[in-house]
């Protein structure tokens, strides 16, 4: 048995599931099968308790109070920054801006980094497989500046055509923006190679890491990108938490995006001076309790380890793919060689939304729709797909229950 197989065999999924209270519930009288993890993950009890404990024992505002509770709240908030810096191997905790999630992180780069630099004729290069959060902010700043947004193509397997992406890295490209992992296809993009090619041409690269950090260890310095955006709620943490990592030189050069309390050094009507990064990007009261929960989420990942998580998830992905392939008329959308456990599919003659609605009655939670990726749906010529997205707390038995339910609802619809 190789090391990967040993890890998967030793993986005590039942012990892990015991940490996730919600997984014990029933839906429409059936045991829940939660396969909508790419949308948001479930939370372990340690995360729920960290949020609860914060409000019961430490609640106060950050940085504004000299009293004990204010210091405790500030320590909780700032220790999430330390945790995130370790989690994605940032060179310094000061290179981590705490945000409400990937959407805010990307908008911060769009308005604070890109917009002041863009001029008519410039190009922002992205890919066909992006989430709207990595398309629409670029379109908004392009519309204001006269720049355009171009999308690099993918092939039918759902892999980025790297040569085409490289060809599109022309001198008018001022920023490139790619997903580390696609939320629809599960495709893992070759971010290191992309970063190398961008660097050769002096083009800054933003990576949307929303779907990568829940599944694999990420080292932003080794990746070689300029910006890395993440969201907390997909990695066991509370909603409304996230981060932007950026190279120091960019954070230094970027003007503040939001103005308000906490991001200033001195305010007067003759002129305001700003705090150093990252604080100059963190105006207003943040989601302090949420960040206390996010620290607990990262501790939880640490306690299991990504080697074990990956071994288990790879096994789940192979098994689910194999079982789905046996269903007549089922087409998997996205068959990249390097893939995270996200499976989009269609069944001939059945609407994705009808299937998802009927699956819900069987206790199976999957997502149907465009998954905030209209251009990708247009590429495949479909309005929607069904998507089963797995996490390390899922099991083979749940995959069996999902397949049984799918066969049942398919029969009802065909």
Give the residue from 378, 391, 373 showing the smallest Cα distance to 129: 373
Site string for ligand PLP, 17-56 (x = CB under 6 A): ----------------------------------------
Site string for ligand PLP, 351-380 (x = CB under 6 A): ------------------------------
Give the residue from 290, 229, 245, 274 showing the smallest Cα distance to 107: 229
Q: Does 99 bind ligand PLP (CB under 6 A)?
A: no
Q: How far is the CB of 16 from ligand PLP (least distance, A)?
A: 23
Q: How far is the CB of 267 from ligand PLP (least distance, A)?
A: 30
Determine the distance from the C-alpha atom of residue 36 to the mean position of all C-alpha atoms in its chain, rounded to a whole number. 13
Token pair for residue 209?
């890491």
Strand partners, 229: 208, 244
* The binder of ligand PLP chosen from 42, 103, 368, 395 (CB under 6 A): 103
Query: Contact 336/185 with Cβ under 8 angstroms?
Result: yes
Site string for ligand PLP, 222-251 (x = CB under 6 A): ---------x-x------------------
Q: CA 91, 97, 101 angle in degrees (round to 5)?
A: 120
Q: Does 321 bind ligand PLP (CB under 6 A)?
A: no
Q: How far is the CB of 232 from ligand PLP (least distance, A)?
A: 8
How many residues touch ligand PLP under the rule CB under 6 A: the total is 13
Return the range that interacts with ligand PLP (CB under 6 A); candidates 4-12, 14-22, 131-139, 142-150.
131-139
Token pair for residue 204?
């800054």
Query: Contact 19/301 with Cβ under 8 angstroms?
Result: no
The smaller minimum CB distance to ligand PLP, of residues 210 and 295, is found at: 210
* The binder of ligand PLP chosen from 97, 123, 125, 179 (CB under 6 A): 179
Give the residue from 131, 134, 188, 124 showing the smallest Cα distance to 162: 188
Q: Give the whole-angstrom CA distance, residue 182 versus residue 272.
A: 41
Q: Does 131 bind ligand PLP (CB under 6 A)?
A: yes
Q: CA 211, 398, 42 angle in degrees (round to 5)?
A: 40
Give the total residue count for the chain: 414
The smaller minimum CB distance to ligand PLP, of residues 179 and 405, is found at: 179
Count of CB atoms within 10 A of residue 301's CB?
A: 18
Residue 178 has phi, psi (to 5 degrees) of: -135, 150
Q: Does 390 bind ligand PLP (CB under 6 A)?
A: no
The residues annotated with a catalytic role in the active site are 372
* The binder of ligand PLP chosen from 44, 101, 186, 334 (CB under 6 A): 101
The smaller minimum CB distance to ligand PLP, of residues 93 and 132, is found at: 132
Count of CB atoms within 10 A of residue 396's CB?
A: 13
The smaller minimum CB distance to ligand PLP, of residues 243 and 308, is found at: 243
Q: Does 183 bind ligand PLP (CB under 6 A)?
A: yes
* Torsion 318-43-374-369 (CA) sign: positive
Q: Does 133 bind ligand PLP (CB under 6 A)?
A: yes
Q: How far is the CB of 26 from ligand PLP (least distance, A)?
A: 26
Site string for ligand PLP, 201-220 (x = CB under 6 A): -------x-xx---------
Token pair for residue 167?
């060809």
Q: Does 74 bind ligand PLP (CB under 6 A)?
A: no
> Strands 273-274, 264-266: parallel, antiparallel or unpaired by DSSP?
antiparallel
Sites of contact with ligand PLP (CB under 6 A): 101-103, 131, 133-134, 179, 183, 208, 210-211, 231, 233
């Amino acid at each position: 048995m190789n090391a990967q197989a040993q890890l998967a065999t030793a993986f005590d999924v039942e012990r892990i599931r015991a940490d996730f209270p919600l997984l014990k519930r029933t839906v429409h009288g059936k045991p829940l099968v939660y396969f909508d993890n790419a949308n948001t993950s479930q939370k372990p009890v340690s995360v729920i308790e960290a949020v609860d404990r914060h409000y019961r024992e430490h609640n106060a505002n950050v940085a504004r109070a000299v009293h004990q509770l204010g210091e405790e709240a500030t320590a909780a908030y700032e220790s999430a920054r330390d945790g995130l810096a370790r989690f994605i191997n940032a060179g310094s905790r000061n290179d981590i801006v705490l945000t409400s999630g990937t959407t805010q992180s990307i908008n911060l780069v769009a308005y604070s980094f890109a917009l002041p630099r863009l001029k008519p004729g410039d190009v922002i290069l992205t890919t066909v497989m992006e989430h709207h959060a990595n398309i629409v902010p670029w379109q908004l700043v392009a519309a204001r500046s006269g720049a355009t947004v171009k999308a690099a193509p993918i092939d039918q397997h759902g892999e980025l055509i790297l040569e085409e992406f490289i060809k599109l890295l022309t001198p008018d490209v001022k920023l490139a923006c790619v997903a580390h992992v696609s939320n629809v296809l599960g495709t893992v993009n070759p971010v290191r190679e992309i970063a190398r090619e961008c660097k050769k041409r002096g083009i800054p690269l933003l990576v949307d890491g929303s779907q990568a950090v829940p599944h694999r260890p990420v080292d932003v310095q080794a990746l070689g990108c300029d910006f890395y955006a993440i969201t907390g709620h997909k990695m066991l943490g509370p909603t409304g938490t996230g981060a932007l990592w950026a190279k120091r030189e960019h954070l230094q050069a970027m003007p503040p995006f939001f103005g308000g309390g906490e991001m200033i050094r001195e305010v007067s009507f003759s002129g305001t001076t700003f705090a150093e990064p990252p604080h100059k990007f963190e105006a207003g009261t943040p989601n302090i309790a949420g960040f206390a929960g996010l620290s607990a989420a990262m501790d939880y990942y640490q306690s299991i380890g990504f080697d074990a998580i990956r071994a288990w998830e790879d096994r789940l992905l192979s098994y689910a793919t194999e079982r789905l392939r046996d269903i007549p008329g089922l087409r998997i959308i996205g068959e990249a060689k390097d893939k995270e456990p996200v499976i989009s599919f269609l069944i001939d003659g059945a609407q994705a939304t009808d299937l998802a609605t009927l699956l819900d009655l069987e206790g199976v939670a999957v997502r149907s729709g465009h998954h905030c990726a209209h251009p990708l749906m247009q590429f495949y010529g479909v309005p929607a797909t069904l998507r089963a997205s797995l996490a390390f707390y899922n099991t083979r038995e749940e995959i069996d229950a999902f397949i049984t339910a799918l066969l049942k609802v398919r029969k009802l619809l065909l």
